[in-house]
Amino acid sequence: MTPSMPLDPTVPPTAFGAAGEALPELELSEEDIHAAMRHLSGYIDISTSDFQAIYHLAHTQAIERLFGGLRAGRLMRTGMAPLTPDQSLADAATALARQGLKGLPVVDAGGAVLGMLTETDCLRELEAAILPELLVRLIEASGQITHRCHETRVGAAMTAPAVSVDPSAGFAAMIAAFQRHPGRGMPVVDAEGKWLGLLLRKDFLAAFRLGEQL
Protein backbone atom coordinates (compact mmCIF):
# COMPACT_ATOMS: atom_id res chain seq x y z
CA MET A 1 0.00 0.00 0.00
CA THR A 2 1.62 3.23 -1.15
CA PRO A 3 0.21 6.63 -0.08
CA SER A 4 -1.26 8.58 -2.99
CA MET A 5 0.36 11.78 -1.67
CA PRO A 6 3.83 12.03 -0.10
CA LEU A 7 3.84 12.77 3.62
CA ASP A 8 6.53 14.98 5.07
CA PRO A 9 7.71 13.38 8.34
CA THR A 10 9.83 16.45 9.15
CA VAL A 11 6.65 18.45 9.80
CA PRO A 12 4.38 16.11 11.73
CA PRO A 13 0.77 17.19 12.14
CA THR A 14 -0.22 18.16 15.69
CA ALA A 15 -3.55 17.36 17.32
CA PHE A 16 -5.36 20.47 18.50
CA GLY A 17 -8.54 20.91 20.50
CA ALA A 18 -11.17 23.48 19.59
CA ALA A 19 -9.53 25.97 21.96
CA GLY A 20 -6.27 25.68 20.00
CA GLU A 21 -4.11 23.96 22.59
CA ALA A 22 -1.86 21.06 21.61
CA LEU A 23 -3.05 17.69 22.81
CA PRO A 24 -0.63 15.11 24.23
CA GLU A 25 0.46 12.34 21.88
CA LEU A 26 2.41 9.14 22.38
CA GLU A 27 5.49 9.19 20.19
CA LEU A 28 6.20 6.04 18.17
CA SER A 29 9.74 4.80 17.73
CA GLU A 30 10.93 2.92 14.63
CA GLU A 31 11.04 -0.22 16.76
CA ASP A 32 7.36 0.29 17.65
CA ILE A 33 6.45 0.66 13.98
CA HIS A 34 8.45 -2.39 12.85
CA ALA A 35 6.82 -4.46 15.60
CA ALA A 36 3.36 -3.34 14.50
CA MET A 37 4.04 -3.99 10.81
CA ARG A 38 5.20 -7.55 11.54
CA HIS A 39 1.66 -8.33 12.72
CA LEU A 40 0.18 -7.37 9.33
CA SER A 41 -0.20 -10.08 6.73
CA GLY A 42 1.19 -9.61 3.24
CA TYR A 43 3.64 -7.10 1.87
CA ILE A 44 3.21 -3.41 2.72
CA ASP A 45 5.08 -0.93 0.56
CA ILE A 46 5.39 1.91 3.08
CA SER A 47 8.32 3.43 4.95
CA THR A 48 8.45 3.83 8.70
CA SER A 49 8.44 7.62 8.31
CA ASP A 50 5.23 7.48 6.23
CA PHE A 51 3.71 5.08 8.76
CA GLN A 52 4.56 7.57 11.53
CA ALA A 53 3.05 10.48 9.59
CA ILE A 54 -0.18 8.49 9.05
CA TYR A 55 -0.25 7.75 12.78
CA HIS A 56 -0.03 11.48 13.55
CA LEU A 57 -2.96 12.19 11.26
CA ALA A 58 -5.04 9.36 12.70
CA HIS A 59 -4.24 10.51 16.23
CA THR A 60 -5.38 14.04 15.40
CA GLN A 61 -8.71 12.75 14.11
CA ALA A 62 -9.28 10.37 17.03
CA ILE A 63 -8.48 12.94 19.73
CA GLU A 64 -10.72 15.54 18.13
CA ARG A 65 -13.54 13.01 17.77
CA LEU A 66 -13.30 11.77 21.34
CA PHE A 67 -12.36 14.87 23.30
CA GLY A 68 -12.72 17.90 21.07
CA GLY A 69 -16.11 19.05 22.39
CA LEU A 70 -15.56 18.71 26.14
CA ARG A 71 -14.72 21.81 28.14
CA ALA A 72 -14.15 22.62 31.80
CA GLY A 73 -17.34 24.66 31.79
CA ARG A 74 -19.35 21.55 30.90
CA LEU A 75 -17.66 19.33 33.48
CA MET A 76 -17.56 21.70 36.45
CA ARG A 77 -19.93 21.45 39.41
CA THR A 78 -21.86 24.54 40.44
CA GLY A 79 -24.12 25.56 43.30
CA MET A 80 -21.48 25.00 45.98
CA ALA A 81 -20.75 27.47 48.76
CA PRO A 82 -17.09 28.61 48.64
CA LEU A 83 -15.07 29.52 51.71
CA THR A 84 -13.88 32.94 52.85
CA PRO A 85 -10.43 33.68 54.31
CA ASP A 86 -11.78 34.81 57.68
CA GLN A 87 -13.67 31.59 58.40
CA SER A 88 -12.26 29.21 61.01
CA LEU A 89 -10.95 25.77 60.13
CA ALA A 90 -13.83 24.36 62.18
CA ASP A 91 -16.38 26.16 59.97
CA ALA A 92 -14.49 25.14 56.83
CA ALA A 93 -14.39 21.47 57.89
CA THR A 94 -18.14 21.59 58.46
CA ALA A 95 -18.68 23.09 54.99
CA LEU A 96 -16.52 20.42 53.35
CA ALA A 97 -18.31 17.61 55.17
CA ARG A 98 -21.79 18.93 54.38
CA GLN A 99 -20.99 19.25 50.68
CA GLY A 100 -19.14 15.94 50.49
CA LEU A 101 -15.93 17.51 49.22
CA LYS A 102 -12.22 17.30 50.00
CA GLY A 103 -11.49 20.87 48.94
CA LEU A 104 -13.17 24.20 48.28
CA PRO A 105 -12.04 27.50 46.76
CA VAL A 106 -11.47 30.46 49.05
CA VAL A 107 -12.86 33.70 47.63
CA ASP A 108 -12.82 37.38 48.57
CA ALA A 109 -15.87 39.62 48.94
CA GLY A 110 -16.04 40.09 45.17
CA GLY A 111 -15.91 36.37 44.38
CA ALA A 112 -12.30 36.31 43.15
CA VAL A 113 -10.46 33.10 43.98
CA LEU A 114 -7.68 33.60 46.54
CA GLY A 115 -6.71 29.96 47.06
CA MET A 116 -7.92 26.43 47.79
CA LEU A 117 -8.46 24.81 51.16
CA THR A 118 -8.15 21.05 50.99
CA GLU A 119 -8.25 18.14 53.39
CA THR A 120 -4.46 18.03 53.15
CA ASP A 121 -4.20 21.69 54.16
CA CYS A 122 -6.33 21.02 57.23
CA LEU A 123 -4.24 18.02 58.25
CA ARG A 124 -1.02 19.98 57.79
CA GLU A 125 -2.32 22.85 59.92
CA LEU A 126 -3.23 20.39 62.66
CA GLU A 127 0.25 18.83 62.38
CA ALA A 128 -0.94 15.48 61.07
CA ALA A 129 0.21 13.84 57.86
CA ILE A 130 -2.71 11.42 57.50
CA LEU A 131 -6.19 11.05 59.00
CA PRO A 132 -5.30 8.18 61.40
CA GLU A 133 -2.55 10.36 62.87
CA LEU A 134 -5.07 13.12 63.47
CA LEU A 135 -7.42 10.66 65.18
CA VAL A 136 -4.61 9.60 67.52
CA ARG A 137 -3.87 13.21 68.35
CA LEU A 138 -7.56 13.87 69.00
CA ILE A 139 -7.61 11.02 71.50
CA GLU A 140 -4.46 12.28 73.21
CA ALA A 141 -5.10 16.03 73.14
CA SER A 142 -8.58 16.81 71.87
CA GLY A 143 -8.66 20.19 73.62
CA GLN A 144 -5.61 21.49 71.78
CA ILE A 145 -6.93 20.31 68.41
CA THR A 146 -10.33 21.87 69.03
CA HIS A 147 -8.75 25.16 70.04
CA ARG A 148 -6.56 25.25 66.93
CA CYS A 149 -9.54 24.46 64.67
CA HIS A 150 -11.49 27.41 66.05
CA GLU A 151 -8.56 29.83 66.18
CA THR A 152 -6.93 29.14 62.79
CA ARG A 153 -8.35 31.11 59.86
CA VAL A 154 -8.87 29.60 56.42
CA GLY A 155 -6.69 32.32 54.89
CA ALA A 156 -3.72 31.12 56.93
CA ALA A 157 -4.19 27.44 56.06
CA MET A 158 -5.19 27.56 52.38
CA THR A 159 -2.91 26.82 49.44
CA ALA A 160 -2.38 29.96 47.38
CA PRO A 161 -2.46 30.84 44.62
CA ALA A 162 -4.89 28.22 43.41
CA VAL A 163 -4.33 26.37 40.14
CA SER A 164 -7.41 27.18 38.08
CA VAL A 165 -8.79 26.92 34.56
CA ASP A 166 -11.27 28.94 32.55
CA PRO A 167 -14.54 27.48 31.23
CA SER A 168 -13.17 27.07 27.70
CA ALA A 169 -10.22 24.90 28.84
CA GLY A 170 -10.05 21.71 26.80
CA PHE A 171 -8.43 18.31 27.21
CA ALA A 172 -4.79 19.40 27.22
CA ALA A 173 -5.34 22.45 29.41
CA MET A 174 -7.23 20.43 32.03
CA ILE A 175 -4.60 17.67 32.09
CA ALA A 176 -1.80 20.25 32.41
CA ALA A 177 -3.61 21.98 35.28
CA PHE A 178 -4.18 18.74 37.21
CA GLN A 179 -0.52 17.82 36.71
CA ARG A 180 0.50 21.07 38.42
CA HIS A 181 -1.08 20.18 41.77
CA PRO A 182 -1.96 17.04 43.73
CA GLY A 183 -5.46 18.16 44.73
CA ARG A 184 -8.69 16.44 43.73
CA GLY A 185 -10.37 19.58 42.46
CA MET A 186 -9.69 23.07 41.18
CA PRO A 187 -11.72 26.21 40.58
CA VAL A 188 -13.04 27.24 37.21
CA VAL A 189 -12.80 31.02 36.94
CA ASP A 190 -13.83 33.76 34.52
CA ALA A 191 -11.51 36.28 32.88
CA GLU A 192 -11.47 38.35 36.08
CA GLY A 193 -10.54 35.40 38.27
CA LYS A 194 -13.99 35.05 39.81
CA TRP A 195 -15.19 31.62 40.82
CA LEU A 196 -17.70 29.91 38.52
CA GLY A 197 -17.56 26.28 39.65
CA LEU A 198 -15.40 23.39 40.76
CA LEU A 199 -13.77 20.87 38.42
CA LEU A 200 -13.22 17.57 40.22
CA ARG A 201 -10.50 15.19 39.10
CA LYS A 202 -12.90 12.23 39.31
CA ASP A 203 -15.42 13.98 37.03
CA PHE A 204 -12.67 14.73 34.52
CA LEU A 205 -11.47 11.11 34.52
CA ALA A 206 -15.02 9.78 34.29
CA ALA A 207 -15.69 11.99 31.26
CA PHE A 208 -12.74 10.47 29.41
CA ARG A 209 -13.29 6.94 30.77
CA LEU A 210 -9.69 6.84 31.92
CA GLY A 211 -10.28 5.39 35.37
CA GLU A 212 -8.90 6.44 38.75
CA GLN A 213 -5.62 4.58 38.13
CA LEU A 214 -4.43 7.56 36.10
2-11, 35-44, 52-61, 113-122 — which is least confidently predicted?
Answer: 2-11
Q: Look at residue 153 and tell me whether its pLDDT is greater than 80.
A: yes
Relative orientation angle of helices 48-67 and 30-37, to the nearest 10 degrees? 90
Q: What angle do CA 12, 204, 85 make, to 5 degrees?
A: 120
Cα radius of gyration (the chain): 24
* 155 compared with 38, residue with greater pLDDT: 155
Cα separations in angstroms, 7 against 10, 47, 49, 50, 143: 9, 10, 8, 6, 71
User: What's residue 124's pLDDT?
Assistant: 86
Question: Given phi > 0 = left and psi -120 to 50 = alpha, else beta, which region is 29?
Answer: beta
User: What's residue 144's pLDDT?
Assistant: 73
Q: For the chain, what's the residue count? A: 214
Give me the mean pLDDT over the 115-136 stretch. Answer: 80
Q: How many CB atoms lie under 10 A from the CB of residue 205? A: 15
Instruction: Locate the domains of the chain by residue range.
Output: 1-69, 72-207
Report the top-level CATH class of 72-207: alpha beta
* Segments of the chain assigned E as strands: 103-107, 113-118, 185-189, 195-200
Cα separations in angstroms, 115 against 41, 91, 106, 155, 178: 57, 17, 5, 8, 15
The CA-to-CA distance between both ends of the chain, in Å, stands at 37
Classified as helix, coil or strand, 198 is: strand
Q: Look at residue 209 and tell me whether its pLDDT is greater than 70.
A: no
